Amino acid sequence: MTTRKASSKPSPRICRAVSAGVLIALLALGPAWAAETRVGLASTDITPPLGMPMAGYYHARGADGVLDPLWSKALVLEQDGERAALVVLDIISVTREVTDEARAAIVKATGIPGDHVMISATHAHTGPELAKRSQRSDDMGGRQQIAVDYTARLPGLIAESVRRASEQLQPVRLSACKGQCQDLAFNRRFFMRDGTTAWNAGKLNPNIVMPAGPTDPEVGVLSVESAAAKGPGQILATYVNFAMHPDTTGGSQFSADWPGALSRVLGGYHGSNHLTLVANGACGNINHVDTSWRGAQKGPGEAHRIGVMLGAAVFQAGKALTPVTVGPLRARSERVECDLPQLAPGEAEEAWQTVAAVKDDRGANFMKLVRAYRAIAVADRQGKPHRLEVQAIALGRDVAWVGLPGEVFVELGLAIKKNSPFAQTFVVELANENIGYIPDRRSFAEGAYEPESSRCAPGSGEKLAGVAIQLLTQLHRENAGLADATR
Ligand SMILES: [Zn+2]
């Protein structure tokens, strides 16, 4: 936690107002923080060996090729001696254990404190299945030696990307903006003619009445420009925050899905050394499937189409980039207790039989299997509530990041953005750990896939969002110099 007292660069008007004596004293002391912002960037290849089990679905599959490599991409930000690291991984999700080990290695290698490090997963569905102490992971291959070895290596690879980034800090100019990308992401839950709520209702389905919720077309952009030149400098990196499931490529070859395609599109303009970091937004119920369009929407071509469309939105937004006002860099994490969902009597016992018996998960038994893995995971906690990390990082009064511990429904992400005092808030899901789906309260009542597979009780999402807004409010007050000095 940052304890540095907030201060700000004296404005010219204030300087004229203070007496000469005070001014001399101020000059002798120097500014409380340097105006210079520095950023370091690095990426480490985390593509697993072939044969590695892949994550993403309710059936086991091993990787037999590499379409495009997977990366741990790190952006280290430094302001007045304070540093924070934003890391994005081309994998489906990150575990508590991997984050804890990576943070410990990062502290050791760089001195950046753990709660100043946000490690998020893009949620690519064509990456590795990590070993993660859950029955579903075990059944998808997470217990295989190759997965255990890879999972043990991953924290070191993440720390390596942060270490190299922190060794390459250079003066930069940061700018941010909110772009828009319409008609690319869709709410994948639908109200149906028979009164039910359906998940992925299918293309051109005449029984769809309307989507059951909103989307978030906002494209959050942070642009990192080299400050070496007086005029426009080289764009070194672009941090993109957009809410949409990356499950477009499919198949059994490793791929970073549309975040990889977007990186190629932005790199095509800014040059091969440019780094694109994609932090997924609150996309628990959002995907790329347009049910009103008959297009197939699957495969590497679809990832490319999305990369081009989203890339166009980022380029368009680039014209509206606003310089980020320099200010203190602070970070804070809080552990939030979230209850377990109720299980029916005998549900866990029956779940074990289901998991043993169900072989065809793609057919009529899919939801049976989903509910069974949920019951096993919930029973395994023996009544112990979750303690989930909500993290906030703020730079000055303009820009903040929020890290949330699972697949968050878009309604919750929109509520955080609406109530954040920062002009630009990046809501990052699947940050630091993953509890699975985090629906809003209303969606729990409506049922279907995500609420019925959720490992947390109704109301957990609102609680986590509430803490996120609280942390943002505190950091904003402190960065504005309004904080109680005794805090
Ligand atoms: Zn998902």
Does 336 fall in a domain? no
Does 193 fall in a domain? yes
Taking the centre of ligand 1 as the mean of its atom positions, its distance from the CA of residue 19, in whole angstroms, is: 60
Of 52, 158, 43, the residue nearest 97 (C-alpha): 158
Taking the centre of ligand 1 as the mean of its atom positions, its distance from the CA of residue 244, in whole angstroms, is: 9
Taking the centre of ligand 1 as the mean of its atom positions, its distance from the CA of residue 245, in whole angstroms, is: 6
Evaluate if residue 362 carries a pLDDT over 80.
no
pLDDT digits (tens, 9 = 90+) for 41-96: 999 999 999 999 999 888 889 999 999 999 999 999 999 999 999 999 999 999 99
Taking the centre of ligand 1 as the mean of its atom positions, its distance from the CA of residue 163, in whole angstroms, is: 30
Taking the centre of ligand 1 as the mean of its atom positions, its distance from the CA of residue 238, in whole angstroms, is: 24
Contacts of residue 271, Cβ cutoff 8 Å, sequence gap at least 6: 234
The residue-averaged pLDDT of 373-387 equals 96
Evaluate if residue 430 carries a pLDDT over 90.
yes
Evaluate if residue 432 carries a pLDDT over 90.
yes
Q: Is 314 exposed, middle or buried (0-12, 13-18, 19+ CB in 10 A)?
A: buried
- The number of folded domains in the chain is 1
Q: pLDDT-based confidence at 32, cuts 50/70/90? A: very low
Q: pLDDT-based confidence at 482, cuts 50/70/90? A: low
pLDDT digits (tens, 9 = 90+) for 202-220: 999 999 999 999 999 999 9
Q: Which residue has the higher pLDDT, 229 or 311?
A: 311
Taking the centre of ligand 1 as the mean of its atom positions, its distance from the CA of residue 291, in whole angstroms, is: 18
Evaluate if residue 25 carries a pLDDT over 90.
no
Strands 65-66 and 253-254: parallel
Taking the centre of ligand 1 as the mean of its atom positions, its distance from the CA of residue 438, in whole angstroms, is: 10
Taking the centre of ligand 1 as the mean of its atom positions, its distance from the CA of residue 123, in whole angstroms, is: 7
Q: How far apart (Å, rounded) are the C-alpha atoms in residues 329 and 109?
A: 20
Taking the centre of ligand 1 as the mean of its atom positions, its distance from the CA of residue 129, in whole angstroms, is: 14
Q: pLDDT-based confidence at 228, cuts 50/70/90? A: confident
Q: How far apart (Å, rounded) are the C-alpha atoms in residues 126 and 259?
A: 12
Of 244, 272, 300, the residue nearest 68 (C-alpha): 300
User: Which domain does 147 fall in, by range?
Assistant: 37-329
Evaluate if residue 280 carries a pLDDT over 50.
yes
Query: Hey, what are 59's tokens?
Result: 């059936």
Taking the centre of ligand 1 as the mean of its atom positions, its distance from the CA of residue 263, in whole angstroms, is: 21
State the pLDDT at residue 324: 96
Does 343 fall in a domain? no
Taking the centre of ligand 1 as the mean of its atom positions, its distance from the CA of residue 388, in whole angstroms, is: 18
Evaluate if residue 244 carries a pLDDT over 90.
yes
Taking the centre of ligand 1 as the mean of its atom positions, its distance from the CA of residue 413, in whole angstroms, is: 15
Taking the centre of ligand 1 as the mean of its atom positions, its distance from the CA of residue 255, in whole angstroms, is: 16
State the pLDDT at residue 481: 86
Q: pLDDT-based confidence at 366, cuts 50/70/90? A: confident
Rounded (10°) angle between helices 300-318 and 257-270: 50
Q: pLDDT-based confidence at 17, cuts 50/70/90? A: very low
Taking the centre of ligand 1 as the mean of its atom positions, its distance from the CA of residue 191, in whole angstroms, is: 20
Among 49-63, 146-160, 433-447, whose mean pLDDT is lowest?
49-63
Taking the centre of ligand 1 as the mean of its atom positions, its distance from the CA of residue 284, in whole angstroms, is: 6
For the chain, give the mean pLDDT: 91
State the pLDDT at residue 230: 80
Q: pLDDT-based confidence at 19, cuts 50/70/90? A: very low
The residue-averaged pLDDT of 430-448 equals 97
Does 5 fall in a domain? no
Of 175, 242, 223, 237, the residue nearest 398 (C-alpha): 175
Does 116 fall in a domain? yes
Residues with CB in 5 Å of ion ligand 1: 407
Taking the centre of ligand 1 as the mean of its atom positions, its distance from the CA of residue 256, in whole angstroms, is: 15
Taking the centre of ligand 1 as the mean of its atom positions, its distance from the CA of residue 430, in whole angstroms, is: 10
Taking the centre of ligand 1 as the mean of its atom positions, its distance from the CA of residue 11, in whole angstroms, is: 47
Percent above pLDDT 70 for the chain: 90
Query: Hey, what are 319's tokens?
Result: 């014209």
Evaluate if residue 367 carries a pLDDT over 50.
yes
Taking the centre of ligand 1 as the mean of its atom positions, its distance from the CA of residue 463, in whole angstroms, is: 21
| Secondary-structure breakdown of the chain: helix, strand, coil percentages, each rounded to the nearest 5 | 35, 25, 40
Taking the centre of ligand 1 as the mean of its atom positions, its distance from the CA of residue 387, in whole angstroms, is: 21
Q: Which residue has the higher pLDDT, 139 or 309?
A: 309
Does 417 fall in a domain? no
Taking the centre of ligand 1 as the mean of its atom positions, its distance from the CA of residue 417, in whole angstroms, is: 21
Taking the centre of ligand 1 as the mean of its atom positions, its distance from the CA of residue 58, in whole angstroms, is: 12
Does 478 fall in a domain? no
Q: pLDDT-based confidence at 356, cuts 50/70/90? A: confident
Taking the centre of ligand 1 as the mean of its atom positions, its distance from the CA of residue 287, in whole angstroms, is: 9
Q: How far apart (Å, rounded) are the C-alpha atoms in residues 370 and 361?
A: 9
Taking the centre of ligand 1 as the mean of its atom positions, its distance from the CA of residue 172, in whole angstroms, is: 35
Does 169 fall in a domain? yes
Evaluate if residue 13 carries a pLDDT over 70.
no
Q: How far apart (Å, rounded) are the C-alpha atoms in residues 94 and 238?
A: 22
Taking the centre of ligand 1 as the mean of its atom positions, its distance from the CA of residue 57, in whole angstroms, is: 9
What pTM was estimated for this model as a whole?
A: 0.91
Taking the centre of ligand 1 as the mean of its atom positions, its distance from the CA of residue 259, in whole angstroms, is: 15
State the pLDDT at residue 8: 40
Taking the centre of ligand 1 as the mean of its atom positions, its distance from the CA of residue 371, in whole angstroms, is: 15
State the pLDDT at residue 31: 44
